[in-house]
Structure 1
Amino acid sequence: MASHNQPRWAMVIEADKCIDCKACDVACKRENQIDAKGNPEVCRNWINNEGVKGTYPNLQQTFTPEQCHQCDNPPCVPVCPVQATWQGDDGVVLVDKKKCIGCTLCAINCPYKARYMTEARKGETRKADKCNYCEYRPKTKLPACVDTCPTKVRTFGNLNDPNSDVSKLLKDRPYKVLQEDKGTKPHIFYI
């Protein structure tokens, strides 16, 4: 668990701003060299279409952006038999693909369905993959999905910094987490 001096990365999502343009998905796949080969389940982030509600002419359509929730209590970590899934000091849940044996236990145990298995390469097994907030980028640079969004749906920042944009949003606005009953203590917040 991170100390208060250590950054604790999180994301706030304002779903009512999402227009399902897919810019986040495209930017993530390009940034992380993800070759989906037309398979929509090969992704680190996605948009749930909640459908059209209301009656004409008063219609409303809602989209809910999703990705790994970077849980404080990640159910994917303890089930990995080779410790390929682990949590960094900053709270980000990571995958060591060199260790991963492709058993899928992490994917099965993720209540958010935020894991996918890569395509098997010649002589290798499939590997688990997921969002890592573009962890290899300097933290002065936003994750690709945040950086590219034309309507600024996602806000990324340090929960341990009271002056960060995520801390200010969570202080000033009501929010929820998905599947709170699972006890995962997710760090994707919806306002």
Structure 2
Amino acid sequence: MIDIKKEIEQDRRAFIKKVLGGTIAGSLLLVIPANSVEIAEQIPGMRAEDSVFTKKQFAFVVDITACIGCGSCCVADKAEYNVPDGNYRTWVERYIIDDNDDVYVDSPNGGLDGYTKPREGLPHPTRDTFFVPKLCNMCKKPSCVQVCPVGATYQTKDGFVLIDKTRCVGCSYCIQACPYSVRFINPKTRTAEKCTWCYHRVRKGLLPACVEVCPVHARKFGDLSDKNSEVWKILHEPHVISVLKPAMGNEPALHYVGLRREVV
């Protein structure tokens, strides 16, 4: 049997070529479980198997009707994780609908600078504008976990989809599999990266950084197993609530209030 860890340490590129070529693929099934929930989160003092967390069911809610496109969430995320320029763990898209019912979508600099100026050069007057924050959907059935050949992308017992950077070989399979385009290869570490809903903060009883700084409370986070939580109440109120691309079958834990048909 091939020693996967030794192969990775010796030459990442050679390892990837072997995976893609099929010489290691058969062995992976023998050494790496399909759902690597036992891999410890790479945060000192944190244990993914803590029973108090396995009983929780976390959810994220974004209220499109409240978002003002200020970019505070993006700034907080970049500061929290030192996200490389040109890459985004979370970003804000601007949707513009003109009098001709044409839809334009943009996200200059990921929304980091906010949207203080109207978009110029459109052929028709603007009829409506709204903002849509994007981040990891933390799927209950994550396709990224299924395709990872080395078990680097895994799902914790409390439902978080995370990346073990000590295993990741940067093959980009997870990036191609994600229907929400929330992953990227970090140019410095050469490993996959994405939003984690600030797992290290949540494990300490804190809110995700983006939720903490939102000035209009457009982002909500909490435990759905707690009927007194704000997210439980929101998801059980008569709002127009939906998830992105439900037909994909990933069952996202990210919900949108006021989601509109124009959103892609």
What's the TM-score, normalizing by structure 2?
0.65
Correspondence 1:21 to 2:70? yes
Which letter does structure 2 place at the counterpart of 1:168?
Answer: K
| Partner of residue 184, structure 1 | 250
Aligned residue among 162, 173, 182 for 1:105: 173
- Cα deviation per residue 1:46-100 (whole Å; 9 max; x = unaligned)? 1111114448998421111110000000000010000000011111100011110
8 Å contact from structure 2 (residues 89, 135) kept in 1: yes
**C-alpha distance in 2 between matches for 1:116 and 1:7:** 28
Shift of 1:120: 3.3
8 Å contact from structure 2 (residues 58, 224) kept in 1: yes
Following superposition of structure 1 onto structure 2, how do residues 32-181 of structure 1 map, counting pairs within 5 Å?
32-36=81-85, 39=86, 42-54=87-99, 59-121=127-189, 126-137=190-201, 138-174=203-239, 175-181=241-247
Aligned-residue identity in percent: 39
Q: What SS does structure 2 have at the residue aligned with 1:48? A: strand
Q: Which runs of 5+ in 1 are unaligned?
A: none
Higher strand share: 1
Q: Which has the higher contact order (CA 8 A, sep 6+)?
A: 1
Shift of 1:161: 1.3
Q: Which runs of 5+ in 2 are unaligned?
A: 1-36, 38-48, 101-123, 258-264
Count of residues paired in the alignment: 183
**C-alpha distance in 2 between matches for 1:120 and 1:140:** 30
Shift of 1:140: 2.4
**C-alpha distance in 2 between matches for 1:131 and 1:158:** 18
Shift of 1:115: 0.5
8 Å contact from structure 1 (residues 82, 99) kept in 2: yes
8 Å contact from structure 1 (residues 49, 64) kept in 2: yes
Q: Point out the structure with max Rg over C-alpha.
A: 2
| Partner of residue 16, structure 2 | none
**C-alpha distance in 1 between matches for 2:182 and 2:139:** 11
8 Å contact from structure 1 (residues 12, 154) kept in 2: yes
Shift of 1:139: 4.5
**C-alpha distance in 2 between matches for 1:53 and 1:155:** 30
**C-alpha distance in 2 between matches for 1:141 and 1:100:** 27
What's the TM-score, normalizing by structure 1?
0.88
Structure-2 change in CA distance of 1:120 and 1:58 (3 Å): closer
**C-alpha distance in 2 between matches for 1:139 and 1:145:** 16
Question: Which structure 1 residue ranges, 4+ long, deviate > 4 Å from structure 2?
Answer: 1-5, 54-58
Structure-2 change in CA distance of 1:35 and 1:5 (3 Å): closer
Aligned-residue RMSD, C-alpha: 2.3
Structure-2 change in CA distance of 1:58 and 1:98 (3 Å): closer
Shift of 1:116: 1.1
Which letter does structure 1 place at the counterpart of 2:82?
Answer: Q
Shift of 1:6: 1.1
**C-alpha distance in 1 between matches for 2:139 and 2:68:** 26
Which letter does structure 2 place at the counterpart of 1:82?
Answer: V
**C-alpha distance in 2 between matches for 1:108 and 1:173:** 35
Higher helix share: 2
